[in-house]
Amino acid sequence: MSVDFSKNAKERPEPHNAEVIGSIPDWLQGTLVRNGPGIFSVGETSYDHWCDGMSFMNSFSIKNGKVTHRSRFLRSDTYNSNMTSNRIVVSEMGTMAYPDPSKNFIFKAITFLNHTVPDFTDNAASNIIKYGNDYYATSETNYIRKIDPFTLETLDKVDYMKFLPVNLVSSHPHYDREGSVYNVGTSIAEKAKTKYIFFKIPAVTEKDISFQSNDVCKLFMFNMVTLKYTTATAVKQKEGRLECKAEVLCEGFELPRINYDFNGKKHQFIYGNIVEESENCWPSEPVFVPRPNGESEDDGVLLIAVINCIPGQSGFLLILDGKTFKEVARAYVNTELHRDMHGFFIPHAK
């Protein structure tokens, strides 16, 4: 399986009807909005890290068994500046940009060293979050961009620093049933002086490293974990310290999600991606949508945007049964989908 994740996306802002195969449950009504990098080169310049790409949003609106799709680039200040200049002029996490490429090396070095607390990018390409009744595209800087989740139009720019003393904010807030939002951020002092630490790592000694091999020492350990079917251990050490080793639940498990109705509660199921070379498809992060008045934690469906790795072939929205993982339906959107990061499902009243 081969797919180019650094190819610039093409937006399709007008709604297009998808070709639905299968039967979408009557109770599933709402819009899935997904966000991730979509532009990786501007003019002759390109980003040095995939996560730096400019925000590209996709929406899948599900109503009465039908699906409509649209996509837009986030019209951030970063997007507008880069496009106007026809080059990358706003720095990102892994890409240092210089507004004037004609300047010499010394000017660029001074510009870099002076970026102690820069004005961060508003290229909100990581997630979609909700505050009150409003929805925002977010990354992990102090800027978020309000959007219309149904048309994907870019609206107001919001600066966290006007409300909270934070420079960097997580793009993964938590919500409680009362609508309160919980998040974590960091604060960098604006007037602090820049200091640099230079250090040298000496070469290893010229003498050869050697050791004397002995028989393995036998040691009795009492494992305090008594659960069956687990490899986790907890061994009390001589000084009274308890050494714990966790069990690895799964190898290569990415983008985990749960039934969010069970957030902060005991839960059993986690949904994520294990990519295998099959069917030339690349799945996105799964989003669990619980059935209204469902009787169990896994009573619902998973919504997964799937990239078709064959050039020119349509991507699709895959709907899986949360209990059996059997395919319920898929909706071909008649355009290529691109690798993204995270998404948010907005339920509609039926």
Q: DSSP H helical segments within the chain, as ranges?
A: 77-85, 105-113
For residues 11, 15, 18, 23, the Cα torsion angle rounded to the nearest 10 degrees is 130
- Long-range contacts (CB closer than 8 Å, 24 or more residues apart) made by 167-170: 167/117, 167/120, 167/141, 167/142, 168/120, 168/140, 168/141, 168/142, 169/138, 169/140, 169/141, 169/142, 170/140
pLDDT beyond 90 at 253: no
Rounded distance between C-alpha atoms, residue 28 and residue 20, angstroms: 14
- Span 1-26, pLDDT tens digits: 566 788 999 999 999 999 999 999 99
Q: How many residues does the chain have?
A: 350
DSSP code string of 248-304: ---SS-EEEE--GGGTTS-----EEE---S-TTEEE---EEEEPTT-SSTT-EEEEE
Report whether 172 belongs to an annotated binding site: yes
- Span 30-40, pLDDT tens digits: 999 999 999 99
Find where tokens 């050490």 sit.
237
**Nearest to residue 133, comparing CAs of 109, 112, 150?**
150
* Domains of the chain by residue range: 12-175+217-347
Q: Are 138 and 129 a contacting pair, CB within 8 Å? A: yes
Phi, psi (degrees; rounded to nearest 5) at 324: -105, -15
CA-based Rg of the chain, rounded to a whole angstrom?
A: 25
For residue 341, the tally of other CB atoms under 10 A from its CB is: 19
For position 22, what pLDDT does the model report? Answer: 97
Among the ranges given (44-48, 193-197, 313-317), the one the predictor scored with the smallest mean pLDDT: 193-197
Q: Stretch 305-313: mean pLDDT, rounded?
A: 86
For position 135, what pLDDT does the model report? Answer: 97
For position 287, what pLDDT does the model report? Answer: 96
pLDDT beyond 60 at 116: no
For position 57, what pLDDT does the model report? Answer: 98
Across the strands, what pairs with 16? 69
Find where tokens 């929205």 sit.
317
pLDDT beyond 80 at 113: no
Q: Are 156 and 142 a contacting pair, CB within 8 Å? A: no
Among the ranges given (101-105, 126-130, 326-330), the one the predictor scored with the smallest mean pLDDT: 101-105
- Higher-confidence residue of 98 and 85: namely 85
For position 189, what pLDDT does the model report? Answer: 66
Q: State the average pLDDT for the chain.
A: 86
For residues 155, 58, 133, 130, the Cα torsion angle rounded to the nearest 10 degrees is -100
DSSP code string of 154-200: EEEEEEGGGTSS-SEE-S--EE-TTS-EE--EE---TTPPP------
pLDDT beyond 60 at 203: no
Helices and strands (H, E) in the chain, number of each type: 2, 25
Amino acid at 268: Q
- Span 272-300, pLDDT tens digits: 876 655 568 889 999 999 999 998 999 99
Rounded distance between C-alpha atoms, residue 46 and residue 86, angstroms: 11
For residue 189, the tally of other CB atoms under 10 A from its CB is: 10
Amino acid at 153: E
For position 277, what pLDDT does the model report? Answer: 52
For position 350, what pLDDT does the model report? Answer: 58
pTM exceeding 0.85: no
Find where tokens 């990354």 sit.
139
Q: Stretch 71-93: mean pLDDT, rounded?
A: 95
Structure tokens at 308: 């078709």
